[in-house]
């Protein structure tokens, strides 16, 4: 199950599993974000390369507005994916527990 | 354990239910579950994407062997695509030059311990193994 919504501080809350079947849902939500935001990954259990594609497309668009997504509470496994893919160089990331 | 899955992204829920049953039965730690699930999804979705007109289901097998998990995905009546010889992914270009896609196989190679490909008479089979750490029974 995957959910994406706004938190009470206007951050984007990702929950559950962002796999290829959920990528379109995530992209549709993120496409409506007009400006840089914090994305809270505390409840995100799983992210596949389809999810990386969604995040990359969003980041490219938002950087044109003067800033991108800041990812917080990123779990070890998902942080590893960002490191292996070089996405830790194109996103501001805070690991869970920082 | 083995099961065939319909060639569709919508099968992913069933794929993960299948792996969850395996992980529960074999008491596989979360640290091994993530890379196994990730790699299965990448390989399964590649088979779906690149052989869309193929009516055959995709066979997924998972097995616990002492200190490792062995996984294979087999596509039938398929065109060959050797995942072990795919071109390296771009992981260093700046944001403006990065293109979506192309990272799945690179990430699999980072997360699993062996990756093999075998093609014969239309059977396209990808096998990978993941070593288990001390946290697993």
What pLDDT is stored for residue A26 in this prediction?
Answer: 98
pLDDT tens track of chain B, all 137 residues?
999 999 999 999 999 999 999 999 999 998 899 999 999 999 999 999 888 888 999 999 999 998 999 999 999 988 888 888 877 788 888 888 887 777 889 999 999 999 999 999 889 999 999 999 754 44
The ipTM (two decimal places) reads 0.91
Find which of A1, A21, A92 to mutate to test the B interface (most B CBs within 10 Å of its CB).
Answer: A21
- When the pLDDT of each residue in chain A is averaged and rounded to a whole number, the result is 94
What pLDDT is stored for residue B137 in this prediction?
Answer: 41
Worst-scoring range by mean pLDDT, A18-32, A68-82, B94-108? B94-108
Tell me the pTM: 0.92
Closest CA to B45 of B104, B106, B127, B128: B104
Interface of B with A (CB under 8 A): 9-10, 12-13, 16, 31, 34-35, 37-38, 41-42, 45, 89-96, 98, 100-101, 103-104, 106-107, 110-111
Q: What percent of chain A has a predicted confidence (pLDDT) above 70?
A: 100
Question: What CA–CA distance (Å, rounded) separates B61 from B63?
Answer: 7
Find which of B6, B9, B133 to mutate to test the A interface (most A CBs within 10 Å of its CB).
Answer: B9
A43 band by pLDDT with thresholds 50, 70 and 90: very high
From the CB of residue B81, how many other CB atoms can be counted at a distance below 10 Å? 16
Q: Return the DSSP state at A88.
A: G
Of all residues in chain A, the one with the smallest CA distance to B40 is A48
């Amino acid at each position: 199950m995957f959910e994406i919504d706004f938190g009470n501080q206007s951050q984007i809350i990702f929950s559950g599993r962002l796999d290829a079947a959920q990528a379109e849902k995530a992209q549709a939500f993120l496409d409506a974000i007009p400006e840089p935001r914090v994305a809270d990954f505390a409840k995100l259990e799983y992210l596949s390369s389809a999810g990386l594609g969604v995040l990359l497309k969003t980041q490219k668009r938002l950087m044109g507005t003067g800033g991108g997504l800041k990812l917080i509470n990123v779990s070890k496994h998902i942080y590893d994916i960002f490191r292996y893919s070089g996405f830790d160089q194109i996103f501001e990331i805070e690991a869970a527990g920082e | 354990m083995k099961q065939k899955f319909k060639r569709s992204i919508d099968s992913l829920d069933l794929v993960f239910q299948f792996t969850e049953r395996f992980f529960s039965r074999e008491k596989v730690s979360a640290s091994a579950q993530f890379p196994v699930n990730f790699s299965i999804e990448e390989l399964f979705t590649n088979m779906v994407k690149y052989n869309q007109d193929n009516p055959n289901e995709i066979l997924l097998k998972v097995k616990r062997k002492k200190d490792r998990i062995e996984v294979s995905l087999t596509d039938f009546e398929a065109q060959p695509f050797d995942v072990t010889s795919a071109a390296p992914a771009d992981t260093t270009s700046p944001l403006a030059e990065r293109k979506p896609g192309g990272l799945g196989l690179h990430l699999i190679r980072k997360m699993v311990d062996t990756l093999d490909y075998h093609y014969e008479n239309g059977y396209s089979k990808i096998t990978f193994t993941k070593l288990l750490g001390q946290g697993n029974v």
